Structure 1
Amino acid sequence: MRELAFAVACGLAVGLLVTSAPWHVKSRNSGTLLYIGWALVGNLIFLVNTVVWNGNISNPAPIWCDIATKLIIGLNVAMPCVSLCIQRRLYHISRISQVSPTHEQRRREIYVDLSIGLGFPVLIMILHYIVQGHRYDIYEDYGCWPNVYLSWPAFVLVLPWPIVISSVSLVYAGLTVRNFLRRRATFNELLKSQATGLNVNRYVRLMALASIEMLFVFPMSIVVLVHNANLKISPWISWENTHYNFGRVSFITQFLFKSSGNSTVIFELTRWCMPVAGFLFFIFFGLASEARKQYKKAFESVAQTLGIRPSVLPYSDRKDTPYVSS
């Protein structure tokens, strides 16, 4: 029942993210697009893992596991990174004057977002190989999981970055809130003058989404780091020692896994982050007025394809119905 609930949550999160994506694709907000992309990747990986490895520790898809385990390492820092991208953009919007940024400035900001939200997670995936003791692990019910050889390089190269990135986001968030409160009266005009595609409501929703993500990831990352630090830390002897018999796969049953203490809680917290991220995004943007307009257009398009006249559609435009912006 637990695995079924998780699989349903991941599948629902995928559907909600896809439904919410079109408006953000049109607005070309790189931070939110990276958020959607990484959340989709995470939910799809955990959905497949939960379904395929429910009640077994077989190894039917080695290539899938090679790819999925690297992406899980990337996801460990990717969600904090995309929150940082969003917070950073909101901060820069809040501090500049009423001058629309040039095309070159916009392009440079996109490159910076891609470097933070895509490039840095890929870098961590590459660095993970240094402390990857063997190919991967397979946990009953959880599926493929990356192996990290717990030695001092792991605590430098892979494990601390979610905390570091979330700390930087926290600073940006504080500065953004300060600037927003100072300029609240003229903030809507500021957003329009910069051609950001945002209004105050969308700006606040973005700020809330990134802040909640950060406040959730930051303490959880500390818990994970402390948990790993309390495990047996192996000495770093050499590259050859760490990667000896690298191609092996470890298989862990539920019985063995549950006997490992708090590891089960850590796993559950880690994987539930993904559907929660999808739900949060939909709550803040999938129910907003611009999203509802997109749903309405899609509904009308499908209905007209089926031969239903717009005049009888329950959500068709009516002149006597006022539009209220969210």
Structure 2
Amino acid sequence: MRTLTLTFTLLVLFALTCIASLLHHSNLLLASLWRLQPQPALEWQLLVELRLPRLLASASAGALLASAGAAMQARFRNPLAEPGLIGINSGAALASALALSLGAGLYGVAAAAFGGGIAALLLVRLLGADQDGNRLILSGLAVSTLLGSLLTLLITMLPDGSLRVVTFWLMGSFAGVEWPLALLLLLAAPPIWLALFRQWRFLNALQLGESAAFHLGFAVRRQEWQVVMLAALATGLVVSGCGMIGFIGLMAPHLARQLLGSDSRRLLIAGPLLGAWLAVASDWLARGLLAPAELPVGVITSLLGAPFFLWLLRRQEPRHA
């Protein structure tokens, strides 16, 4: 009952935020809707061609990142695990930027981002980080720094005309989203979420340890790689289309855990809803705080997420008598 109540509350909050974001500064459209008059053509075109695909993309991206974050935290048994903190974002960003510089299209960039995310995660695992939660975070940060340096080197070699576009994209933004990308994210989010949700029993068993999960009848190596691949795919899709939008995969699952406990079934229901709401709300703030100028949405999520991460890190410190 508690899960249903919270889910309904989140759905209402999410719907209200979506409406507010869509109709932000659309005074003529609001007036015509209130008076049941025909909608102004320009306002309606702005809504359908720019704001609606942007809204769908931000909601889908938030849900994908939160689903990936919840899966990673359960897989590594560490609430600090998140695609951006264990190198997946950086690997996907480097591969995406390289694909963009070579003139790849939408699907080519998405495929490159997926491959880059997987390669970064493999590098983290080669360091043995999957065996220890603290080493996971440290190894992920080291890999992210290395890949970030390579990305900076690549950016310095880009032509001047591409430099601003790539730099703004790397900070994370839904500003340039068009219908093809919005539809790609919208269509990809449900099957990826469903595939991760079907692993909830395995993810719960992992909380007892890999040996316990094996004795409970799970194919640990095969299923953990399914989880990791799905998380990398979700992250790669978002990074390839919208840039590096950090900390949603950290904040949303942890907020869900505070509200509902550690059951992965509940986390994989409430977490994506919270992730979608965080992404839409952050994008709304990015458009409105310095209007008519616009902030990259990655700046907003970092401003929220960095203190949140430090708070979590503080809570993870061992207590000494």
TM-score by length of 1: 0.30
Q: Which has the higher contact order (CA 8 A, sep 6+)?
A: 2
Between Structure 1 and Structure 2, which shows a larger proportion of helix residues?
Answer: 2
Which structure has the larger Rg over C-alpha atoms? 1
